[in-house]
């Protein structure tokens, strides 16, 4: 930080303040994590200076000898980590990765299915305010009213009736496992492509604690910065061959007349279809993160994320807090504030938790009666606190603090008391041991 502190003290201050905020608080937003110093170093490297439109060994600019080596390594590590046939590491983030799959596989206005936003899907899974809902025809599926769980029979029924060209499996706010194998069966029965968006759970998949869609799905997208603990960015994994070439892409042929592969459709949708030069500094950091995730310790990390989420869910419930689906079996917990007389008060609770140094996000709950700006849920998860080394007993302390705040969110003496406990806790788990920025 020496140079930036001298040349731009204003921005340097925001960085040190952010570090302090992250160190002192507990980060429970389920899509966030704390990357290693090695990932930070790759992100801050000279690869940020380079342009490299194209793919390794087929670029449009000179000077690619080290970019090519780096991107090849990133691809090979991702293939090994997930057992993927083909990997594209260039998507800038999750939404562009999903856009690329849409543009590779569908035509404008084509019909597809995705989990509705209020039931835990993502904007790019068909929200009417997103490209996916605006330029394609989305038929949403949702969770069941009674159980708040996905019912694969009902997904199957909708698919057979609607005959979509693509079905998206995946979540951003669903606390249970996804049955990717059954999604694939439904896609095969109905001649639909299967896009599995594992952005939230790719660390769990890589660590072997969640079923992987990679052996089944036509395309799998993931961000790299959530449970996978890499830099902000994304990648696409896919099959080489287009299973539905004759039905949907009979005219997609190479110069020699052979059918275009699925991997070729995806690659050309990323570049030049949607993106220009890849973010080489981010791709170097992705390679570093994939290397870390290939280490045996990452399996322990992934297993601990799930153990921590269960411990936190159990403690919240024993403190009388209602959880959507009454628990979790992944990294994510969704609190339903309605029984606490806090319908539409998610923002108030999020702010009160912020004051207690517990970072979460307000979220809709299934069948949300209030607006998405003031919804009735709080979403949280354990990837970041697990990266700090916290275990089940710390989850209990945090959950007890959260329950106190939720039961009386406007009581500042309660918030202050919880804040003290959190400061005491986080002191024992330095974010970056040995980093002297705060001293
Ligand atoms: N913003 C991400 C999340 O928090 O789940 C999804 O893009």
Burial of 355 (0-12, 13-18, 19+ CB in 10 A): middle
Q: How far is the CA of 62 from the centre of ligand 1 (A)?
A: 36
Whether residues 46 and 161 share a domain: the answer is: yes
pLDDT at position 11 is: 97
pLDDT at position 382 is: 98
Q: What is the mean pLDDT of residues 340-352?
A: 97
User: Is 217 contained in some domain?
Assistant: yes
Catalytic-role residue among 80, 111, 177, 232: 232
Whether residues 306 and 264 share a domain: the answer is: no
- Report the number of distinct structural domains present in the chain: 2
Whether residues 279 and 313 share a domain: the answer is: no
Q: What is the mean pLDDT of the chain?
A: 97
CATH number of the domain at 68, please.
3.40.640.10
Residue 415 reports pLDDT greater than 60: yes
d(CA 320, CA 248): 52
The verdict on whether 185 is a catalytic residue reads no
Whether residues 359 and 237 share a domain: the answer is: no
Whether residues 45 and 84 share a domain: the answer is: yes
Q: Which of 265, 293, 321 is the last residue of a domain?
A: 293
pLDDT at position 1 is: 86
The verdict on whether 53 is a catalytic residue reads yes
Question: Hey, whose CA ends up nearest to atom 5 of ligand 1?
Answer: 172
d(CA 421, CA 417): 7
Q: How far is the CA of 82 from the centre of ligand 1 (A)?
A: 22
Pairing relationship of beta strands 358-359 and 26-27 according to DSSP bridges:
parallel
Residue 435 reports pLDDT greater than 80: no
d(CA 361, CA 359): 7
Catalytic-role residue among 50, 165, 176, 226: 226
Whether residues 140 and 178 share a domain: the answer is: yes
User: Is 8 contained in some domain?
Assistant: no
User: Is 79 contained in some domain?
Assistant: yes
- Residue pointed to by tokens 């799959």: 101
Q: What is the mean pLDDT of residues 82-106?
A: 98
Whether residues 83 and 133 share a domain: the answer is: yes
Residue 275 reports pLDDT greater than 90: yes
d(CA 228, CA 207): 9
Q: What is the mean pLDDT of residues 121-147?
A: 97
Whether residues 305 and 246 share a domain: the answer is: no
Q: Yes or no: say if 168 and 195 are a contact pair by the CB < 8 Å rule.
A: yes
Please work out whether the CB of residue 203 comes within 6 Å of at least one atom of ligand 1. no
pLDDT at position 152 is: 98
Q: How far is the CA of 55 from the centre of ligand 1 (A)?
A: 28
Which of 30, 31, 98, 333 for mutating ligand 1's site (highest number of atoms within 8 Å of CB)?
31
- pLDDT of 382-401, one tens digit each? 999 999 999 999 999 999 99
User: What SS3 class is residue 333?
Assistant: strand
Residue 104 reports pLDDT greater than 80: yes
Please work out whether the CB of residue 221 comes within 6 Å of at least one atom of ligand 1. no
d(CA 63, CA 54): 13
Catalytic-role residue among 124, 223, 325, 426: 223
User: Is 120 contained in some domain?
Assistant: yes
User: Is 3 contained in some domain?
Assistant: no
- Residue pointed to by tokens 């207690």: 356
- pLDDT of 277-301, one tens digit each? 999 999 999 999 999 999 999 999 9
Whether residues 179 and 327 share a domain: the answer is: no
Q: Which of 245, 262, 293 is the last residue of a domain?
A: 293
Question: Hey, whose CA ends up nearest to atom 1 of ligand 1?
Answer: 31
Q: Which of 243, 269, 293 is the last residue of a domain?
A: 293
The ligand 1 atom nearest the CA atom of 29: 4
Please work out whether the CB of residue 130 comes within 6 Å of at least one atom of ligand 1. no
pLDDT at position 248 is: 97
Alpha helices in 54-117 (DSSP H): 65-82, 94-105
User: Is 128 contained in some domain?
Assistant: yes
User: Is 344 contained in some domain?
Assistant: yes
d(CA 41, CA 20): 19
Q: Yes or no: say if 113 and 166 are a contact pair by the CB < 8 Å rule.
A: yes
CATH number of the domain at 318, please.
3.90.1150.10
Token pair in block for residue 417: 């008391």
Task: Tell me the chain's radius of gyration from C-alpha atoms.
Answer: 22
22 CA to centre of own chain: 19
Q: Would you place residue 124 in the very low, low, confident or very high pLDDT band (cuts 50, 70, 90)?
A: very high
Residue 436 reports pLDDT greater than 70: no
Whether residues 233 and 89 share a domain: the answer is: yes
User: Is 18 contained in some domain?
Assistant: no
Q: Would you place residue 439 in the very low, low, confident or very high pLDDT band (cuts 50, 70, 90)?
A: very low
Whether residues 328 and 215 share a domain: the answer is: no
The verdict on whether 347 is a catalytic residue reads no
Q: How far is the CA of 245 from the centre of ligand 1 (A)?
A: 32
Q: Would you place residue 437 in the very low, low, confident or very high pLDDT band (cuts 50, 70, 90)?
A: low
The verdict on whether 118 is a catalytic residue reads no
Whether residues 266 and 308 share a domain: the answer is: no
- pLDDT of 206-250, one tens digit each? 999 999 999 999 999 999 999 999 999 999 999 999 999 999 999
d(CA 105, CA 243): 11
Structural domain boundaries enclosing 391: 296-426
| Virtual torsion, Cα 389, 204, 231, 113, nearest 10 deg | -140
């Amino acid at each position: 930080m020496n140079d930036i502190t001298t040349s731009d003290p204003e921005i340097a201050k925001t960085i040190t303040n952010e570090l302090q905020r992250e160190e002192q608080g507990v980060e429970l937003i389920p899509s966030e994590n704390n990357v290693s110093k090695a990932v930070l170093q790759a992100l801050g490297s000279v690869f940020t200076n380079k342009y490299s439109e194209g793919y390794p060994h087929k670029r449009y600019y000179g000077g690619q000898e080290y970019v090519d080596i780096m991107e090849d390594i990133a691809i090979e590590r991702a293939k090994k980590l997930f057992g993927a046939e083909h990997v594209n590491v260039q998507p800038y983030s999750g939404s562009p990765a999903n856009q690329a799959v849409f543009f590779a596989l569908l035509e404008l206005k084509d019909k597809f299915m995705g989990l509705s936003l209020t039931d835990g899907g993502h904007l790019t899974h068909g929200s009417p305010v997103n490209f996916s809902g605006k330029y394609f025809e989305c038929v949403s599926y949702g969770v069941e009213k009674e159980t708040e769980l996905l019912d694969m029979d009902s997904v199957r029924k909708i698919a057979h009736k609607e005959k979509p060209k693509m079905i998206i499996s995946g979540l951003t706010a669903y606390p249970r496992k996804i049955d990717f194998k059954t999604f694939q069966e439904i896609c095969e029965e109905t001649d639909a492509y299967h896009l599995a968006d594992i952005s939230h759970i790719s660390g769990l998949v890589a660590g072997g604690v969640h079923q992987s869609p990679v052996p089944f799905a036509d395309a799998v997208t993931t961000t790299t910065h959530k449970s996978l603990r890499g830099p902000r960015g994304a990648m696409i994994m896919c099959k080489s061959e287009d299973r539905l070439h004759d039905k949907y892409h009979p005219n997609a042929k190479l110069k020699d007349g052979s059918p275009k592969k699925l991997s070729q459709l995806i690659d050309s949708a990323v570049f030049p279809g949607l993106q220009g030069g890849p973010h080489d500094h981010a791709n170097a950091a992705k390679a570093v993160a994939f290397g870390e995730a290939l280490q045996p310790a990452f399996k322990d990390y992934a297993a601990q994320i799930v153990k921590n989420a269960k411990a936190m869910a159990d403690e919240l419930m024993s403190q009388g807090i209602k959880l959507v689906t009454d628990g979790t079996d992944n990294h994510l917990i969704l609190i339903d504030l309605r029984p606490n007389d806090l319908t539409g008060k998610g923002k108030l609770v999020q702010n009160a938790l912020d004051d207690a140094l517990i970072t979460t996000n307000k979220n809709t709950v299934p069948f949300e009666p209030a607006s998405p700006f003031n919804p009735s849920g709080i979403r949280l998860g354990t990837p970041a606190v697990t990266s700090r080394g916290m275990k089940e007993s710390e989850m209990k302390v945090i959950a007890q603090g959260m329950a106190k705040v939720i039961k009386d969110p406007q009581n500042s003496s309660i918030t202050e008391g919880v804040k003290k406990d959190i400061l005491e806790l986080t002191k024992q788990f330095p974010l970056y041991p040995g980093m002297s920025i705060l001293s």
